[in-house]
Every structure is written in structure tokens, then in C-alpha cells.
Structure 1
């Protein structure tokens, strides 16, 4: 193990983000804490817990055009000077090359592979390894060192197939409307909300009404070619539909919908498997579940795996990768580790 600040060789650690040190480069992936040491910042996608690094000033910042547009639609950050990479694009610094691959999570989400003379390194960001109505599965990026998220890194997280979840969502919504209630879904404004709209557009003719923050994100998706049929909640048509109780409402997870007794709420998120409380719950996840995390690791065939972003599940996932796949794995350390 290397002392903090050592410049020689290739080292990786968790320090308010995934930090890779290579010679004089300090490359931060999805950092949440600024540092004057950073030479480059790469952001994997637009969700707030990963994208704060794009607001950092005085450092070169990289992300996809879609992520940049989503953030500009949802947050008041100065990101005009952020450099963009299309999926498949490469950028080089001396003898280190970074390439963006699709991570399957949301619009514009990517994983990053770094190639150096000393080996290859992949940072997944948030990962989904299954196909949905609005995303393709994460691309397999072979590497020596894999840093993979562990949000659902335990065998307790095995989601039903998309077909099963879609059917249950539609059946529940129809049941609500037949009983004179408005099915009101709480979901991430970016990703899950657009998948919900696509589900009901594809399989029903029920009108969809969206809260303002979801509407803003919808417009970004539409600018990239997605066809979404919805009505803004603050429009006259949206108000009339909600009053008729013959529509579906889609709102962010943090919006309180208890003000309207005609709303029957449901949480659409992989995290619904963890939370109790009132309302229905549907495990519509834009993350890989435990079986898909193992499948991705097996497909990449790394020499060593580091787990992160899963709290106590970092240790669980690492242990089970070693046990089931025979690949060395450990939680990402909090100080530079020579790899």
C-alpha cells in the first residue's frame, strides 16, 4: 500500500469520489468533494449523488452531452465549459486514454475505461445490465481492475423480470382508475419517470400527467429522439385530467402527494424493496440487481474488483464475488492502493 500523495504507478481509492492516481494525474470519478489535487473530473450520469463534480471550477470536467443537458435542465450550475464525450469517444492525457461506454442506467449514463501501459481500469458509475423500454444494457468493457457499484450487492436483491413488473404496474393503475382514484407514481425524475411514461404509452391509452420537474426532464429526452406522450400538471389540460381521475400522475420521489385524497400512491424504484410505509411499491430499478452485478463481473473478467457506493453491501458483494466467481475482490479502500 502506498502513502497518500504518492505519484508513481497506478493507485485507486475512495475519497469523496473514486480517485485514480497515475504519475502526475489525479483523476476523479463522480466526486462529491472538491480538491485542488484533481487534474480531471469525469461524471458518469446526471443523478445528483454522482454529478456534483461538474459544478467544480478550475479543473477540466468531462461527461456526455445528454448528462450535461439533463443537469442544465434540473440544476442552476455553471457548466457551460464542461467538455463532452459521446459514447465510444476517447480522450488522452500523456500515455493514459479514457473511453466512455454505455452503462445502461439512464439517458447519457456511461462507464469509463482507462488504458495505461500498466493496465486497464473500469469505473462503472451506476450500472444496469438489463434492457428496458428506454435503455440498452451496459456495455461489457474488459479490464484488469474493475470498480463496480454495490447498491444492490446482496442476494436479497433479485428483481422480477421487466415484463412482470410492467404487467403489475399497468394492472394496478387500471384498478385505481376503475375505483375512482388517480394512480400517482413517485419515481426518480430522471430515468424511472420516463420509463413509466413509456410503459403506459406502449401498453395503454391512459393519459399521463407529469409534475414540473419530470416535465423538464421529459423535454431533454425528447430532444434526443424519445417519443413521450404526457401532459404537464400545471397546464389547463393537466388540471382537467387530474380532476377527472382518468389519468396517471408521475411525480418525483420527494414530492408530498398527500394533499390530494384522490391520489393513490406508489413508489417505483429498486429501493422500494427496502422501504415500508404507505402506498404500493414496485421494484422498477435502473440499477443492476445482485445476479446482474455478478453477471457483469463475470463478463468483464477482471483480475481484481473493488466495490463501492453500497455502504455495508460493499463488503457483502466483494465477499460473494470471490466466493462465487473466484475473482479477488474487496471494498474500495479510503487511501491510495497500488494496483
Structure 2
């Protein structure tokens, strides 16, 4: 039975390409065997609004239009891809955007923050401890701030990861599996970076709903595997409460690898930067140190451990983030 999707505003350039990574496949083949590597280029959903968040924000924007909202409020780190995409979506649709940003800022803006400012978003900065301890209060404050001035605001959680946002990757799953079918295979594994959980939730639920035997594994870039098991089920439960009351999130096969987080969120070590350089050099694909670089580095390590030796095809979902590469420029000194 076809899925009944909620209203959305088409913003992304879809479908994004599915491309083989044959030079990387050849280089990282092992005596254990292993899969042919593919990449779903969701870094190409659009130019400035690029990345996985745009698929989610199409449905968020649809809800904003239906509810008569003229303002979007969301949160994230100073280099948040989600905040940057929300800022550009708001600019395109003529909506005000208020960003609640984690971290203290001084000096010239760079990367995603520069794009936030170019797009006209209002940015409020909070030290990490206050950001986390008062997040709900901060959303209430800014929603009331705009309502007192005659505006109606829609609050968007971190990464647009909730029951509405995960529609973006339920749809994305159907697109990805259709791409694979056209290329002559069904992937045994789909890999993605997982930071707020919504993309993994949408992919996992999407595979389940269409009856695919494909397993989705999220490579965590923060928190713990247990956190993401709970977060994926929480997002799916939120989805089910509004769109499919009879669905049991416990039916999902949730797979998380939290072995490659490194020192912490948005902090990478030299092997990750070397992986980023290798992928750019061999395939012309740009990864970032916060999400995709860590996840792809973890994927390569698992390949060499023989983790995927029984797979014929593995698809890495490139969730974007190339603007976040540039503030890390000093870590690529080994290229000189």
C-alpha cells in the first residue's frame, strides 16, 4: 500500500545521484572479500541548502505553511548544517528564522555561521551548559518573543529530527531503493552518520515499511549507542502517534556503531582528516570532519575488520556538511 505523505514544499533537487565508489572499493578490498561501495549523494540536494536536512525541512516547511507560521525557530551548534539549511529555506520562502546556537562566538564568521548571517537569520549564542540546561525554556522565550510582535512561529527540534521530519528519509528510502533497483541490486547495508537520529530513524523505518531486507547502520558522531537506540525509537513513536497509531517501534532492527566518535562531537583526530583527503583524492567527493568524515572513516575500518565481507553492495548516504569542512582547515597540514 502506498504511503500517504503529509504536505511538503519541494525544495530539493531530487532524485540525488547514486554513484559507485570503485576506486575506493578496489583500494580497500580485503582477503575477506567485501562489498562494492556506493554513495547516495544527498550532499547534492541543493547548492547552499545541501544535505540531508533539506529532505526533512520540505515537510517542516509544508507544516509551517499549513499552520500559518511566518517564523522558524531552531537550534544547533555554531557550525550546524541544520541551522544553515533552515536559514536558507527561510530566506527562500520569505520566513523569519531565529537560531538558538550552542557556543560563544567572536571575530569573523566562517563556514555555516557565515551562511546563516548571509541568509539573514537572527542568531542568539549560548554557552553549552546554558544551551543544554535551558533548551526548552529558550524555545519558549523566542516563540513568545515573536508572538508578542504579531508573528506565528514554528519550533523545529535539533536536526529537524522528530515524527514530522523523518518523513524526509522515509521518502528518501523509497528513492534510494529505487535507484539501487535500477542499478541491478538491493543493498545489504545502508550506512549513514547519526548525530540527531532523524535520518537513521527515517531510513530504518522506511526500509521496514517497504519490506526491504536492507539493514541500516548509523555511525554515531556523539553520545552513545544506547542513546541512539532510544532516540530512533522515540522519533518513530512520535511519527506513529500522528500517522500510524498501530505501529510498534520495537519491531525495528536498529543498528548503531559508536566506536568512531573520537574525542567528542565536532572533534576529529588525524585519521579522520586523512580519510577525508583520501576520498576527495580518489573519488572527488568532499566529506566533513563532524559527520560524514567520521562515519566513512569508521566504515573503512569496519571493512578491514571483515564486518561486511558477506555483503555484495553497501550504500553510504552522504548527508552533506561541506561548509563545516572549512573551519577545520588547520588540521590538513599533512597535505603540504
TM-score between both structures, scaled by the size of structure 2: 0.35
Q: Give the structure with the higher percent helix.
A: 2
Structure number with the bigger relative contact order (C-alpha 8 A, sep ≥ 6) is 2
TM-score between both structures, scaled by the size of structure 1: 0.34
- Please identify the structure whose Cα radius of gyration is greater: 1
